[in-house]
Copies of this chain bind each other. A is one copy, B any other.
Amino acid sequence: MTASPVYIIGVDLGGTNIVVGAAPANGGTMSGVHSEPTRAEEGADAVTARIVRMVEETITVTSQQAGVERSAFVGVGIGAPGPLDRESGVVLITPNLGWTNFPLRDRVSAGVGLPAALDNDANCATLGEWWIGAAQGAQHVIGLTIGTGIGGGLILNGQLYHGASGIAGELGHISIEANGRRCNCGNYGCLEAYASGSAIATRAREALGGGEPSLLPDLVNGDLSRITAQTVYEASAQGDGVARHVVRDTAQFLGVGIASLVNIFNPEVVVVAGGVTQAGDALFEPLRAEVRRRAFTPAVNVLRIVPGELPGTAGVAGAIATFAQQHRV
């Protein structure tokens, strides 16, 4: 008789959506994955209640599918926007949610009746890719999640690296142009100011100013303010010259930043995740070439630069894995 597997539930709390799912603690397929709008404007209590209900639903679905009892579920991992205090499980400030010093971990734990663990969403996304995604088996992993902003996560010697006060891994905020574009963080020339989803949309609008014919205006019915990174990827896939140029520039900006990170960390894998992966080879081929051109050859020789393999669920997978690491399950 072998020991029955234990299960962990993961919660990925975003500004727009909450995603919840479960998986066996030793890895394997996720189950009971579902998503609901966050509705942050209803307040922290309402969002916590929604999370608790979603966790219960995931437990019900997973226990039916896997044929296990509720007692097989040992805990809840939560990924949330930072900054937060892992030790105390408190979300300190979340501009996207409007919360201050909210004890999210203990509130979810009390609601579900299971122990819980908290880490930031970008760390969880990277940890998820390491646990069951594109970076499995690697000891040293850099994760970049490119959405509205650029989130980062670092796995060094097989563990998430948090730094002295838990805010390490702000990889979107390395300056690639000392006196470049002003970033939302106050610094100048941050990678995020050039290669985030918002920056891609901004650069596309700027590029249209050149007057070159493009599909982009048609895709947004002439309202250029509605251009998003997504619009750029669609136009690029249809062969649009302006959009392709924007994607190629994105690859070069990312290449400058990733080359620096490769010289710093000598990692085995860089996982680039988020909406930007929709640009596919049009992004990844020039990106790899730029890194090869700039970074130290011995470091490039042991490196893979790959798209994330868990679109939409890396955060949940990582939330599960962070519970497993924090509680040594």
A: residues with CB less than 8 A from B are 83, 138-140, 152, 154, 156-157, 161-171, 173-178, 185-189, 252-253, 256, 259-261, 263-268, 293-296, 298-299, 301-303
Residue in chain B with minimal CB distance to A168: B266
Query: What is the minimal beta-carbon distance from A271 to any residue of chain B, in angstroms?
Result: 14
Known: A83-B298, A171-B264, A175-B176. 12 other contacts (CB 8 A): A140-B168, A152-B264, A163-B267, A164-B266, A164-B299, A165-B298, A165-B302, A170-B263, A185-B296, A186-B294, A187-B295, A261-B264
Residue in chain B with minimal CB distance to A191: B260
Please judge, given known A-B contacts A174-B260, A176-B175, whether A266 and B296 are in contact too, CB under 8 Å.
Answer: no
Q: Which residues of B contact A163 (CB under 8 A)?
A: 140, 265-267, 299
**Alpha-carbon distance A11/B261, docked complex (angstroms):** 30
Main secondary structure, interface of A, reads: loop
Query: What is the minimal beta-carbon distance from A77 to any residue of chain B, in angstroms?
Result: 21
Query: What is the minimal beta-carbon distance from A23 to any residue of chain B, in angstroms?
Result: 27
7 pairs, A vs B, C-beta closer than 8 Å: A163-B267, A164-B303, A173-B260, A173-B296, A175-B176, A187-B263, A187-B295
Q: Which of B164, B264, B295, B303 contacts A140 (CB 8 A)?
A: B164
Q: Which residues of B contact A173 (CB under 8 A)?
A: 260, 263, 296
**Alpha-carbon distance A1/B154, docked complex (angstroms):** 47
- CB <8 Å contact, B302 and A164: yes
Residue in chain B with minimal CB distance to A140: B164
Q: Which residues of B contact A268 (CB under 8 A)?
A: 164
Q: Which residues of B contact A83 (CB under 8 A)?
A: 298
- CB <8 Å contact, A175 and B256: yes
Q: Which residues of B contact A174 (CB under 8 A)?
A: 174, 260, 263-264
Please judge, given known A-B contacts A156-B156, A259-B187, whether A266 and B167 are in contact too, CB under 8 Å.
Answer: yes
Q: Which residues of B contact A140 (CB under 8 A)?
A: 163-164, 168
Q: Which residues of B contact A178 (CB under 8 A)?
A: 176-177, 252-253, 256
- CB <8 Å contact, A264 and B156: no
- CB <8 Å contact, B187 and A294: yes
Shortest beta-carbon contacts, A-B, top 6: A163-B266, A174-B260, A168-B266, A170-B263, A173-B263, A187-B294
**Alpha-carbon distance A234/B164, docked complex (angstroms):** 37
- CB <8 Å contact, B176 and A266: no
Residue in chain B with minimal CB distance to A93: B298
- CB <8 Å contact, B156 and A296: no
Residue in chain B with minimal CB distance to A257: B175
Q: Which residues of B contact A188 (CB under 8 A)?
A: 294
